[in-house]
């Protein structure tokens, strides 16, 4: 699969997972291109289309995530428990137990996932503190200290992670 298409499919899976969370659903639907993501005038547009994968992962009221947790070039799924601050990540787009679980940050933060360094394929995890307007980013999908703490924008915004160039 060409790298450009893989990057767009990763974006599509992140958007689908985020939309499912907004509606309070715990079913994750991932559609591949071109059905899920159409590029019009350089702007990604989410479109309707048949799902390539449908499965249940995690208990209700968790916040879904998607990312390449193990660096194999393919996104897996994950969820964040806002009550405990624990990330639960799976390396595939299939039902099953998490491959890794760890606490990162405090409870009641807003999780984000992405390749913060722009190197390789490994995605890291992070969280946004809505009260302070700061991002706490870790370069790996593992427990430990934040590699970067960045204040961006005013408090109480909704965070969004992504590749803003070369899409």
Which tens digit of pLDDT belongs to each residue from 142-164? 999 999 999 988 888 888 887 76
Task: Answer yes or no: are the C-beta atoms of 140 and 158 closer than 8 Å.
Answer: no
The ranges of the chain with pLDDT < 70 are 1-49, 52, 164-167
Asked if residue 85 belongs to a domain, the reply is yes
Asked if residue 58 belongs to a domain, the reply is yes
Indicate yes or no: pTM above 0.85: no
Residue pointed to by tokens 């590029």: 39
Asked if residue 27 belongs to a domain, the reply is yes
103 Cβ contact list (under 8 Å, min separation 6) = 84, 85, 86, 87, 143
Q: What is the pLDDT of residue 98?
A: 93
Asked if residue 164 belongs to a domain, the reply is no
Q: What is the pLDDT of residue 139?
A: 92
Q: What is the pLDDT of residue 15?
A: 47
Q: How many domains does the chain have?
A: 1
Asked if residue 9 belongs to a domain, the reply is yes
Range of the domain at 72: 3-151
Rg over CA atoms, the chain: 15
Asked if residue 16 belongs to a domain, the reply is yes
Asked if residue 29 belongs to a domain, the reply is yes
Q: What is the pLDDT of residue 46?
A: 53
Q: What is the pLDDT of residue 121?
A: 76
- Tell me the C-alpha distance between 63 and 60, whole Å: 9
Asked if residue 105 belongs to a domain, the reply is yes
Q: What is the pLDDT of residue 80?
A: 94
């Amino acid at each position: 699969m060409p790298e450009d298409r893989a990057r767009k499919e990763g974006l599509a899976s992140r958007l689908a997972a985020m939309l499912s969370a907004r509606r309070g659903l715990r079913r994750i639907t991932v559609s591949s291109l071109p059905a899920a993501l159409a590029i019009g005038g350089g702007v990604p547009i989410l479109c309707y289309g048949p799902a390539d994968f449908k499965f249940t992962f995690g208990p209700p009221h968790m916040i879904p995530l998607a990312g390449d947790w193990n660096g194999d070039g393919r996104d897996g799924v994950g969820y964040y428990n806002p009550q405990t601050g624990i990330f639960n990540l799976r390396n595939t787009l299939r039902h099953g137990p998490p491959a890794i679980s760890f606490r990162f940050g405090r409870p009641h933060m807003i999780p984000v996932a992405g390749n913060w360094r722009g190197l390789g394929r490994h995605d890291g995890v992070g969280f946004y503190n809505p009260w302070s307007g700061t991002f706490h980013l870790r370069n790996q999908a593992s427990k430990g200290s934040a590699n970067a703490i960045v204040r961006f924008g005013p408090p109480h915004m909704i965070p969004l992670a992504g590749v803003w160039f070369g899409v």
